[in-house]
């Protein structure tokens, strides 16, 4: 049990167990036909709308679609020039990977999400109000820090300045240097900077540098799942760019999703505490009114009540639907003005399995 349990919603629906007859995909994904109840005509039409051309009017580019149900791949499609061995950008799906890494350290007693976060910039002054910000508030995007998350060229944008401008050499320092816009814990505001602060906190708790943290990621998370493709990126200061950059195949992103859909269990091991998974899918107290429901570095309810997802820029998604025991992974390059079309399309694909 971790202290995250005190912030988990006790009414959450149970997560499905791996079917006894289905092997875990550590070495290779088991495959099966579409279930008989799936709406095949609807799925064929949806696949045509995504893959009819390299760049469609509705969704932009769709590079990969993978659907896992009951622990088996039941649908897999790739766009021209892409395939199962291609690695795809995570963008903000990396935030959910960062949440998993924090969970490993919380389970070891090396991090306490309810305590003030270990951020040196906030201890330089005895009366800095940012020193009260907790890891829980950072994970829930409720730190109160000022941060402009805007990807439109020419607009004021802290995320672009952090990743590609003056902050790129030390992304956590750039984010931690931002002032408060609200008292901690009083307002929700999506900010990639908070994740990079969290990633640095995790490395400090593990007492490792960049290379050591990558070894921690592989040894404790990727390798046990059989994820051989991930390529995490680090800044010059050695901080994992947990806000945005971990490349992997669609099948490996699905492996990560299965870990969460199975409540943190993998084969005969409990890799992440079950209550840490529940914490991820418990709504944050401050509503994410503009973007949708949010948990702890996971989005909620995008594909129906109880679903939770890792969402990334330009249409990268790993969507978990517990009541269907289903995982949907989608990768592509979708313009911002078509973002809602992709969400609707994903919802329709999921609905075709009901």
pLDDT in tens, 331-352: 999 999 999 999 999 999 999 9
- What confidence category does residue 1 fall into, taking pLDDT thresholds of 50, 70 and 90? very low
298-307: Cβ within 8 A, 24+ apart: 298/96, 298/99, 298/260, 302/343, 302/346, 302/347, 303/328, 303/346, 303/347, 303/350, 304/347, 304/350, 304/351, 306/12, 306/13, 307/350
- What confidence category does residue 191 fall into, taking pLDDT thresholds of 50, 70 and 90? very high
**Residue 349 and residue 271: Cα distance in Å, rounded?**
30
Mean pLDDT of all residues in 232-250:
98
Nearest to 47 by CA among 73, 66, 71: 66
Encode pLDDT of 248-268 as tens digits. 999 999 999 999 999 999 999
Question: pTM of the predicted model, to two decimals?
Answer: 0.95
How high is the pLDDT of residue 155?
Answer: 81
Nearest to 112 by CA among 145, 132, 136: 136
**Residue 162 and residue 192: Cα distance in Å, rounded?**
9
Domains of the chain in start order, with CATH, are: 3-351 (3.40.710.10)
Encode pLDDT of 268-300 as tens digits. 999 999 999 999 999 998 877 767 899 999 999
How high is the pLDDT of residue 292?
Answer: 83
Encode pLDDT of 12-68 as tens digits. 989 999 999 999 999 999 999 999 999 999 999 999 999 999 999 999 999 999 999
Nearest to 309 by CA among 280, 333, 288: 280
How high is the pLDDT of residue 8?
Answer: 66
């Amino acid at each position: 049990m971790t202290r995250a349990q005190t912030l988990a919603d006790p009414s959450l629906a149970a997560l499905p167990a791996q079917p006894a007859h289905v092997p875990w995909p550590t070495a290779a994904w088991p495959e099966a036909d579409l279930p008989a109840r799936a709406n095949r005509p609807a799925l064929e039409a949806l696949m045509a709308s995504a893959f009819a051309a390299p760049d469609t009017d509705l969704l932009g580019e769709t590079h990969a679609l993978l659907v896992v149900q009951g622990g088996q791949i039941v649908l897999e499609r790739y766009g021209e020039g892409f395939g199962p061995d291609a690695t795809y950008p995570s963008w903000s799906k990396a935030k959910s990977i960062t949440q998993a890494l924090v969970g490993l350290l919380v389970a070891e007693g090396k991090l306490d999400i309810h305590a003030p976060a270990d951020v040196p910039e906030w201890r330089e002054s005895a009366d800095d109000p940012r020193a009260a910000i907790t890891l829980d508030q950072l994970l829930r995007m409720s730190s109160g820090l000022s941060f402009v998350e805007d990807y439109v060229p020419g607009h004021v944008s802290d995320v672009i300045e952090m990743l590609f401008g003056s902050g790129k050499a030390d992304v956590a320092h750039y984010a931690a240097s931002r002032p408060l816009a609200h008292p901690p814990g009083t307002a929700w505001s999506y900010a990639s900077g908070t994740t990079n602060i969290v990633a640095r906190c995790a490395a400090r708790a593990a007492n490792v540098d960049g290379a050591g943290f990558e070894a921690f990621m592989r040894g404790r998370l990727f390798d046990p799942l059989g994820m051989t493709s991930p390529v995490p990126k680090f800044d010059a200061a050695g901080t994992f760019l947990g806000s945005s950059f971990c490349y992997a195949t669609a099948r490996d992103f699905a492996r990560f999703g299965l870990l969460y859909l199975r409540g943190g269990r993998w084969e005969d091991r409990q890799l992440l505490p079950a209550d840490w998974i529940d914490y991820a899918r418990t709504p944050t107290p401050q509503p994410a009114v503009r973007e949708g429901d949010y948990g702890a570095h996971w989005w909620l309810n995008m594909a129906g009540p109880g679903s939770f997802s890792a969402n990334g820029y330009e249409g990268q998604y790993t969507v978990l639907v517990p009541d269907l025991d289903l995982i949907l992974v989608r990768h592509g390059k979708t313009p911002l003005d078509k973002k809602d079309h992709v969400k609707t399309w994903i919802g329709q694909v999921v609905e075709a399995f009901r």
